[in-house]
Structure 1
Amino acid sequence: MKTRTDFFRLIPFIYLIIGPIWFVGLDYLLSVSNFSAEKVLFLDISKSLLFVFFTAILLFVLLKNLKNKKQIEEEKEKLTLLIDTMPDCISFKDGEGRWLQINKFGAQLFELEGVDYKGKTDREMAKYTDFYHDALIYCIDSDEEAWKAGKVSRCEETIPLRDGSSKIFDSYKMPLFNEDGSRKGLVVIGREITALKETEHKLRQSEKMSVLGELAAGIAHEIRNPLTTIKGFLQMGQEKTINLDQHIDVLVDEIDRINSIVNELLGIAKPAGVIFSNQNLNTIVKEVVEMQSYEASLQNTRLNVVEKDQFNTYCNDSKLKQVFINIMKNALEAVTTEGEITISIVDKNEDFVAVKFEDNGCGIAENHLTHIGEPFYSVKENGIGLGMTVCYSIIETHKGTIHITSQVNSGTCVEVLLPKAKVLSPVQ
């Protein structure tokens, strides 16, 4: 396109050179020729007509090119107007990082109105403004990252303002390349999301207050029940209607219940520092099953352990045992006659191993299933509703997950996914 434009610029000069040569040269050839007067006249007229013909063609081409150029300029003005009216910061740079164009929003943002920015790099532009010097220098590195990525990149950028506030932009950087792979240009579009971020922050705060309110209500409800019992017995003892010595066990049990609730809450809110190490997951599961085997035998429930391979996981074995014991106790409470619990250690995928606890108990209704793990939510009549909450918290610190599926009157499957550490040799 550039070569074609340069050619049209040279046409007037070519015309000025060829025109005199055409007339003077042909006149000289006709004067020294032996043609008859009639033939010389014919050639002279033909010479002039040909010149007029080629001149007309040349004028037509030049006028057409001028019209196309005018249309291009008009389209360029429309595009520039459109870009300037957009509420986003839009700028164009060439392959060397030199500024080609920035819309009014961007010029106002960086205080570049009236500054001759075209052809200058970010480093050169930074000299024009002390306040935005660092922001413009930062653009050099972020632009280079976009070039290296070779595709549209996205990042959040915070631009400070002179009044002490700042604006947050969701920035897209689109590198353009020539056919040979060399850098052609960079398009940068920054959409202001300050209001959106403030809204998100308010929503998070609102959610935190909502959760705090629910937690406070749950704590009050769970602690009020044993406190009411303690208060009632103390009042009756004060009124001499009962002998408190005969009910000390009840009071101690209720106090232990309050202490248990508080300890579990502390475990969720501020988990104590735990030491992680590479442990054999199969061994941990077997120890938990052994610990629960006596209770299972008392209610005639069969425990099955299925393992095909040995797996290591980076964990705190004491905390994992706490999780597995809680899940096992829930399963034992769910089964009745002819109860059966199968514990499987399964190779889930390349990164995770699954420990599955499957029982044939009463199951959990779907409307209850989605709330499992919420503080103080329990499907058991006398449940505190913190056991699974603690389990979820522990597994989360192990970078794992818990998935529960269940069907009423058929049973429940609790799947604990844990990251693998090292695969050991198969079970012999």
Structure 2
Amino acid sequence: MADMSMINRLLVLYALLILCHAITPTQRFLGLRPRASEPQQTEQQIPSEIPPHEPAAIEELSQRCAVEEQEKVQCGQAGITATDCASIQCCFNGTQCYYGKAVTVQCIRDGQFVVVVARDTTVPQLSLDSVHLLGNEASCSPVGITAAFTIYQFPVTACGTKITEKDGHVIYENAMTSSYDVEIGPLGAIMRDSHFKLLFQCRYSVTAVEAMVLKVDGTPPLLPVAVSGPLRLELRLGNGQCTVEGCMEGDVAYSSYYNETDYPVTKVLRDPVYVEVRILERTDPSIVLTLGRCWATSSSDLLSLPQWDLLVDGCPYSADRHMTNLVPLNDTSGLQFPTHYKRFIVKMFAFVDQESLTPLRETVFIHCTAAVCLPTESDRCEQKCSRQRREVSLATKTSSNSVVVSSGKLVLVYM
């Protein structure tokens, strides 16, 4: 820990000699809308400091600066130039300097951090009200929260900041993290929220100040599923995509499917996974496909742990806050034999270690027990689902007329 008198002397010298541009105070950068007299720009302008021969950098900056007009938060002083705006890691559209879809760390010359975290920093989007600093003091709360950004401003000596001295610099280092919900079932635990961790620094000397983002941990995308089941049943994943304006992805998802060469397929947390189980090589319109239990495991062994239920007795697992959605099928579904199919939509998740409650970087497999039913007067082969909580089966049940079909591998990839 550096001697505090030494730190104070350095801060005074820094205030006299600092060459960096001043950053607007909290009261200024909380102006959320441009003034009515300012012309509205629809095209994002890229600062001239980005070399034209670096298309990847230009594309990344363009995406970061694509903030909706009503969500822009002013960065820097009014009237700031494009060059000065770029120097403090912000975006410029010709008239306005504003924060981009990322994490922006700035060091004010009077010895304060400004940290602005965008909702779009992670995929899926970060829940801004879950973000917090290491320190628990009241002064460590955000100074501003909008739908798209959370804004912190606090002294570099507060909120749990660690202070060190190296090579003529006083280094102030802090960390920010997010909380996330964990759902715990009888056979495993999962999460669907982004898990965010940010390490950042301000370095002060008598002539300069540097803001550094050391590391950002976001949460991840996940991967695929597809699958050939036993002889006459198959579990596969729909990959149909919208190609015309106004199209709804759910309407076209089952128009095409992943094949073996497409795997692994990356999915992001909470992205929909379109699952279909179907009967193969049968043309009898009277038979009905029924599903029993559908569940996920972290290995291809359908009895391995951890596990997470998706369907119980053919119905969505009610203890899951993001319950599986059953897709109704009838004569208008465009299928020759709609009773030969079952479809459902799962919101992607990651398995979580039940002791540490940390996400596991593992693979995921989906399994379903299925059977072919022949309707009779007493049994119409209908599966009726109620909202009442159902008991979870602790073992995979397979009767003499049911089989298990499994998906291909889902690979968890953290962004």
Output the TM-score relative to the length of structure 2. Answer: 0.22
Compare the two structures and name the one with the higher helix fraction.
1
Structure with bigger gyration radius = 1
- In terms of fraction of residues, the more strand-rich structure is 2
TM-score, normalising length from structure 1?
0.21
